[in-house]
């Protein structure tokens, strides 16, 4: 149970004072009845309307976003757009947070969730959640590079765990890379270690989830029940 005014404020309907005024005016109904007490205890699962329109009161949400280039993976930034600006404000209000980060110029699958525990587990080094990236680099890749990735690359401050490098049949400057770590600039640094510079980087998969082909850059959707179960299953 949660106070009605607190629930509506958490859902970014308005400030606590504003939603209090809406409630007192009788603009809000809970399970079909007008409620004029802002402090009324309300179930999070109740059907709540404002001016006759049913509100989406879910406080737990999980999102798949096609991150476009040029956008920061951050909760907020004074100058640059962030991934949170691509979602309606309610997602920020309820604490939906990116799972890890993609560089500003990296595109592709970014998950966001209100579940802090799930977020933490998906990023924990011991969990070995695979991430698959499509990379283009500045010069052709060869079997030597495949071997070097498979052996684990020394990146100076740490040794990257063995990774799978799968060179595209039609273009030796393109490859799929599967890693299960998520260190800062990891994939770019792995290519630097074998004298290649990443020109584009796109994440196709995170654990059991693949970026929905129906999404374009900047578009998002909520995870299905099955996707969420698969994600939870991957880190159980």
Show which residues are catalytic. Answer: 103
Which CA distances in Å does 234 have to 8, 85, 122, 160? 34, 29, 8, 21
Asked whether position 135 contacts ligand URA by CB under 6 A, the answer is no
The correct pick among 10, 57, 106, 119 for binding ligand URA (CB under 6 A) is 106
Answer whether 131's CB lies under 8 Å from 206's CB.
Answer: yes
DSSP, res 114: S
* The pair of three-digit structure tokens given for residue 233, joined into one six-digit string: 């299953």
Q: With binding defined as CB under 6 A, does residue 185 bind ligand URA?
A: yes
> Minimum distance from CB of 181 to ligand URA (Å)?
9
Q: 197, 137 in Cβ contact below 8 A?
A: yes
Q: Does 199 bind ligand URA (CB under 6 A)?
A: no
The site that binds ligand URA (CB under 6 A) totals a number of residues, namely: 8
Stretch near ligand URA under the rule CB under 6 A, chosen from 100-108, 140-148, 157-165, 217-225: 100-108
Q: Is 113 near ligand URA (CB under 6 A)? A: no
Distances 5 to 47, 53, 152, 207 between C-alpha atoms, Å: 15, 17, 54, 38
Instruction: Choose one: 9-17, 33-41, 180-188, 211-219; the region binding ligand URA (CB under 6 A).
Output: 180-188
Our CB check for ligand URA shows the closer of 100 and 172 to be 100
- Out of 63, 122, 187, 211, name the contact with ligand URA by CB under 6 A: 187
**Helix, strand, or coil here: 2?**
strand
> Residue 102, interface with ligand URA (CB under 6 A)?
yes
Could you tell me the smallest distance in angstroms from the CB atom of residue 23 to ligand URA?
A: 44
For residue 129, which of 24, 236, 3 has the smallest C-alpha distance? 236
CB 137 within 8 A of CB 152: no
CA distances, 212 to each of 86, 110, 144, 173, 202 (Å) = 17, 11, 33, 25, 13
Q: How far is the CB of 66 from ligand URA (least distance, A)?
A: 14
Q: How many CB atoms lie within 10 A of CB 230?
A: 14
Closest CB to ligand URA among residues 42, 106: 106
Q: Of these, 19, 186, 207, 220, which contacts ligand URA (CB under 6 A)?
A: 186
Binding site for ligand URA (CB under 6 A): 102-103, 106, 185-188, 201
């Amino acid at each position: 149970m949660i106070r009605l005014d607190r629930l509506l404020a958490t859902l970014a309907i308005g400030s606590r004072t504003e939603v209090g005024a809406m409630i007192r005016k009788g603009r809000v109904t809970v399970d079909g009845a007008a409620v004029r007490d802002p402090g009324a205890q309300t179930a999070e699962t109740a059907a709540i309307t404002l001016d006759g329109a049913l509100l989406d009161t879910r406080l737990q949400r999980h999102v798949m976003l096609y991150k476009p280039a040029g956008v920061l993976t951050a909760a907020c930034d004074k100058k640059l757009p962030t991934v949170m600006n691509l979602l309606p404000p309610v997602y920020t209000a309820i604490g939906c947070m990116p799972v890890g980060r993609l560089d500003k110029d990296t595109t592709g699958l970014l998950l966001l969730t209100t579940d802090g525990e799930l977020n933490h587990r998906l990023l924990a080094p011991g969990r070995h959640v695979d991430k698959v990236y499509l990379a283009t680099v500045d010069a052709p890749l060869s079997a030597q590079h495949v071997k070097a990735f498979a052996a684990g690359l020394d990146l100076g401050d740490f040794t990257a765990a063995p990774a799978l490098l799968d060179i595209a049949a039609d273009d030796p400057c393109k490859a799929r890379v599967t890693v299960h770590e998520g260190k800062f600039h990891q994939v770019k640094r792995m290519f630097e270690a074998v004298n290649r510079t990443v020109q584009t980087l796109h994440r196709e998969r995170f654990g059991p989830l693949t970026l929905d082909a129906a999404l374009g850059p900047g578009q998002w959707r909520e995870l299905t029940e099955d996707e969420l179960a698969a994600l939870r299953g991957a880190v159980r």
